[in-house]
Each structure stands twice: as C-alpha cells, then as structure tokens.
C-alpha cells in the first residue's frame, strides 16, 4: 500500500512556504506521493462549500514542488479534461514529467460544474465522448513522431510536438463515480482515483466495476492502480457513526488497512477538504501545525 499526502492547495493555508514545507517533510518521512486537485472557479451562490472558494492551480503547484523535492511522486487528482486544449495540456504535462524526473501521475476527469464549461467556451453535453477522444489524442501527442488527428471534437493538422516526456508518458488515472466513468477507467487508464465525495464503505463495489471493465477489454485488472483520495479528519476516538479516515490516528491507520483489503493500492490523506484546513478564513499557521502533526502520525 502506497501512502501519499495532499499538499496545501485550498484556502488560506495554501501558501508557497506551506506547500514546500509539507512536500519536503513528506519526502523525508517516506510518503510515496504528494497530491493536488483542481477548481477553476466557484460560482457566486453555489452550495459547494468554502473549501472550493480559493484553490491554487494544481500543475503550477506541482512544478514548484518538483524543484524543492527530488524523489517523492507528484500527483494531480484531477484535471478536468474538457477545460483544456489537448495539445496545450500534453505540452504542459510532458514538461512537468521531464523536469520532475518522471515523478508525475496525471489524474484526469470530465468535470461536473457547468459554470466552468461556460467560462471555457465549451458545451457541457457529451463530455464523456469528448474525454475518450481526448485521451487517445493525448497519448498520440506524447508518443507519435507526427501527430495528425481529425475527430468529432478535435483537429490537429499534421504536426510535431517535441520534446516528448522523459523518461516516458506519465501514468493516467481517471476519476468519476458513475458506473460509466468507472468502466471508462478500466478500459482506457492506468488506474482509477476516487472522488472526495466517495462513500469509502462501498469502494469495493466500485473497484469491482473498474476491474471487470479492464478484464472485458483484454487488459490485466491487477495491473491497475486503485487510488483513494482520503478525506482525512483527525479527532477523538470512538465517535458514534464514525466515517472511514476520521477519528484517532489509530482508527485512521486501521481504516487504511481495511481499504487495502478492499483492493485499494494507494491512499493519500487529504486535509484540504476539511473546513478547518481548506477554508479561506482559517489561520494558516494553526492549519499547518495540525497538518504536520497528522503528517508525522500517519507516515508509512
């Protein structure tokens, strides 16, 4: 089981110094990866909550952290594919893979917030079909000498896109909660990453759908990475109705072991989705202090 940690990207604690401090210490403690997430904008009056109000760009954050670390993996979960030009995203991720020495994991998704599509000049409809074409084109841009593509959603005239990512293309994880998204991950991706809204008590059933889709597509289901974004909330032990990855550090560690037994291959503890860390009005120093405590206590 690989254990990762979410770096500060949401709210007042997401400062450059705090990002670097968490990433460097995570590397020292033997964590496998540090992770970011994306939120392009927050519509006025939307009920999604304060943790999405102020979010740093995930790829720029990872590029910064690539320069202050040397071994730890760098993950994003997830970038919403339809919001980008395929050629531009391919270029950005190829460069990030190269400058980090091959440490990138590219988690990708469809997006669910209609206002982000409107702001990007894109239709919300048929985003699943758009994403499948996008994935094929992304891999071509990373591997083919000459790229020429004429699809339903994208066109690339015969072109070169160099340099290619070194030491090779980053692994692609796909997110999503619907059955169609889970099957897409099994057919097309190197693995699946769960959502911050995932009911972890039922994750075994989600994993089954992903792996069955991989098997039906002639792929080895056991080769897939199954990554759990762990919305982790340290607190008192023995709380009634306790959700997985909440409570005492001992309880959280046991939850990680239970997730491994369910088929999860990687968990990353993410405090950004907890209000006392990821909200825009938190005390950055206090949030960092408590996040560092959890970082030490939950180290692999």
Classify strands 73-80 and 155-159 as parallel, antiparallel or unpaired.
unpaired
For 158-209, the DSSP string reads EE---SPPSSSPPPEEE--SSHHHHHHHHHHSSEEE--TT--GGGHHHHHHH
> What's the rounded Cα separation, in Å, for the pair 111 and 78?
9
Q: DSSP assignment, residue 44? A: T
Tell me: the pLDDT tens digits for 243-267?
A: 999 999 999 999 999 999 999 999 9
Check residue 227 and give its pLDDT: 98
Q: What is the mean pLDDT of the chain?
A: 96
> What's the rounded Cα separation, in Å, for the pair 123 and 107?
22
Judged against a pLDDT cut of 90, whether residue 82 lies above it is answered with no
Q: What is the dihedral of CA 135, 170, 111, 81, to 10 degrees?
A: -50
Region 50-70: what's the mean pLDDT?
Answer: 97
Check residue 225 and give its pLDDT: 98
Tell me: the pLDDT tens digits for 176-223?
A: 999 999 999 999 999 999 999 999 999 999 999 999 999 999 999 999
Instruction: Report the predicted TM-score, pTM, of the whole model to 2 decimal places.
Output: 0.96
Burial class (CB in 10 A: 0-12, 13-18, 19+), 282: buried
Whole-angstrom Cα Rg for the chain: 19
β-bridge mates for residue 267, sequence order = 3, 228
Check residue 157 and give its pLDDT: 98
Check residue 143 and give its pLDDT: 98
Region 87-112: what's the mean pLDDT?
Answer: 97
Closest CA to 261 of 203, 216, 214, 213: 203
Check residue 66 and give its pLDDT: 98
Which pair of structure tokens corresponds to residue 123?
């239709």
Tell me: the pLDDT tens digits for 9-46?
A: 999 999 999 999 999 999 999 999 999 999 999 999 99
> What's the rounded Cα separation, in Å, for the pair 228 and 80?
18
């Amino acid at each position: 089981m690989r254990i990762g940690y979410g770096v500060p990207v949401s709210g007042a604690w997401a400062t450059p110094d705090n990002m670097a401090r968490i990433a460097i210490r995570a590397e020292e403690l033997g964590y496998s990866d540090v992770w970011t997430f994306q939120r392009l904008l927050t519509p006025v009056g939307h009920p999604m909550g304060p943790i999405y109000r102020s979010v740093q760009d995930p790829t720029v954050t990872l590029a910064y952290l690539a320069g202050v670390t040397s071994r730890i993996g760098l993950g994003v979960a997830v970038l919403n594919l339809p919001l980008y030009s395929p050629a531009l995203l391919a270029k950005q991720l190829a460069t990030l893979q190269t400058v980090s020495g091959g440490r990138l994991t590219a988690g990708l998704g469809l997006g669910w917030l209609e206002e982000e599509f409107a702001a990007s000049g894109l239709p919300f409809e048929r985003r699943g079909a758009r994403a499948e074409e996008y994935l094929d084109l992304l891999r071509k841009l990373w591997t083919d000498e000459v790229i020429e593509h004429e699809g339903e959603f994208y066109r690339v005239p015969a072109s070169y896109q160099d340099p290619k990512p070194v030491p090779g293309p980053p692994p692609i994880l796909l997110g999503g909660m619907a059955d169609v998204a889970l099957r897409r991950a099994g057919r097309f991706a190197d693995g699946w990453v769960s959502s911050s809204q995932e009911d972890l008590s039922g994750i075994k059933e989600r994993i089954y759908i992903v792996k069955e889709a991989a098997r039906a597509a002639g792929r080895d289901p056991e080769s897939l990475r199954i990554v759990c974004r762990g919305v982790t909330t340290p607190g008192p032990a023995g709380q009634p109705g306790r959700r997985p990855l909440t409570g005492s550090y001992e309880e959280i560690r046991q939850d990680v072991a239970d997730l491994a037994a369910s088929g999860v291959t990687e968990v990353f503890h993410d405090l950004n989705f907890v209000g006392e860390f990821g909200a825009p009005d938190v005390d950055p120093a206090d949030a960092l202090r408590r996040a560092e405590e959890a970082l030490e206590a939950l180290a692999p």
